[in-house]
Amino acid sequence: MIILKNREALQVHLSQYKGKKIGFVPTMGALHRGHTSLLVKAKVSCDVVVSSIFVNPTQFNNPKDFERYPIRTQEDIEALESVGCDVLYLPESAEDIYQNETDFEVDLGLLDKVMEGINRPGHFKGVMRVVKLLFEIVNPTHSFFGMKDYQQYLIVKEMVKQLNMPIEILGCETIREADGLAMSSRNLLLTLPERQVATTLIKTLEYCKEHIDLVPTEELEDRCFAMMKQYGDPEYFVIRRADNLQKFDADYQGEIRAFVVCTIGKVRLIDNLKVK
Ligand code: PAF
């Protein structure tokens, strides 16, 4: 794997892949099997696989969360090498990414007016800023996103569409621990007892799936929220259309997903599940 620390070197290196399929997996490091599964997907469908590690300050609405974000660069490099990543962009400064940034507008409609869009003000603006810049630097043909951050995946897809970027955005299934906990870099911050309690997210999502046809939607949301409250500090538990994250009525036939955010100890965990 070639590690490049500035955008010029990266672009020179990638110029040899003109006309080829360039798969890109942007990350903030502290890699786990969720990330490596994205790289494996990229590896089977693309000619060259590029990843980036950059803990992007502009997407943290809580500065403490940014300070506590785990950094494990050496382990990350080993993980990337183990799945055959070809190129790692490891910018040595935020300036390398943010230099010459230009303003842009994307109308997300209601996509960022729900869930994380409300509870983490400014978060998606920061995500869009950095992902757009990374896309401009790497110029991928395909980019792979985990569906644990489902709202992020939809927003990036919409941004690329509106900005006419010729990049296919692929959403990949959430990878889970044996007991169902969604893989997340933040899991490293859980104490052992908190780690055990953290399975309550997936257990509640599965309860929701089992009851989706039996209990009216709002009552089920309340019930699941109350279940979460016994173990942590839930922010929301909502059941929404998978295509636009809005509420639905009885005639709606498309995919439905349930979304949860709950803080266990000091760690804010997020998960979602297709329930219909
Ligand atoms: O999902 C993430 O890890 C981040 O939001 C991303 C896409 C790498 C942008 O910083």
Q: Domain locations in the chain?
A: 2-172, 185-274
Q: Which of 20, 174, 143, 82 is nearest to 127 (CA)?
A: 143
pLDDT category, 145, cuts 50, 70, 90? very high
The CATH architecture one would assign to domain 185-274 is 2-Layer Sandwich (3.30)
- Which residues are bridge partners to 198 per DSSP? none
Q: What is the mean pLDDT of residues 165-179?
A: 98
CA of 28 to the centre of ligand 1 (A): 6
Q: Which residues contact 95 (CB under 8 A, 6 or more apart)?
A: none
Q: Is the per-residue pLDDT at 61 higher than 90?
A: no
Predicted confidence at residue 33, as pLDDT, reads 96
Q: Which of 222, 210, 184 is nearest to 276 (CA)?
A: 210
Q: Which residues contact 241 (CB under 8 A, 6 or more apart)?
A: 247, 248, 252, 254, 255, 256
Per CATH, the homologous superfamily of domain 2-172 is HUPs (3.40.50.620)
What are the angstrom distances between the C-alpha of 273 and each of 50, 99, 173, 218, 225?
Answer: 28, 38, 10, 17, 15
Distance CA 274, CA 263 (A): 21
Phi, psi of 198 (to 5 degrees): -60, -20
The pTM of this model reads 0.96
C-beta of 147 in contact with ligand 1 (< 6 A): no
pLDDT category, 107, cuts 50, 70, 90? very high
Q: What is the mean pLDDT of residues 1-7?
A: 98
pLDDT digits (tens, 9 = 90+) for 72-83: 999 999 999 999
Predicted confidence at residue 3, as pLDDT, reads 98
The letter for the amino acid at 168 is E
Q: Which of 218, 273, 256, 240 is nearest to 110 (CA)?
A: 240
Among residues 13, 32, 35, 123, the one annotated as catalytic is 35
C-beta of 53 in contact with ligand 1 (< 6 A): no
Distance CA 154, CA 169 (A): 9
Annotated catalytic residue 13: no
Residue 255 CA, distance from chain mean position: 20
pLDDT category, 68, cuts 50, 70, 90? confident
**Encoding tokens for residue 170?**
């692929």
Distance CA 138, CA 133 (A): 9
pLDDT digits (tens, 9 = 90+) for 182-240: 999 999 999 999 999 999 999 999 999 999 999 999 999 999 999 999 999 999 999 99
- Which residues are bridge partners to 22 per DSSP? 48
DSSP state of 176: B
**Encoding tokens for residue 245?**
């994250």
Q: What is the mean pLDDT of residues 27-47?
A: 97
Q: Which residues contact 251 (CB under 8 A, 6 or more apart)?
A: none
C-beta of 28 in contact with ligand 1 (< 6 A): yes
Nearest alpha carbon, ligand 1 atom 1: 27
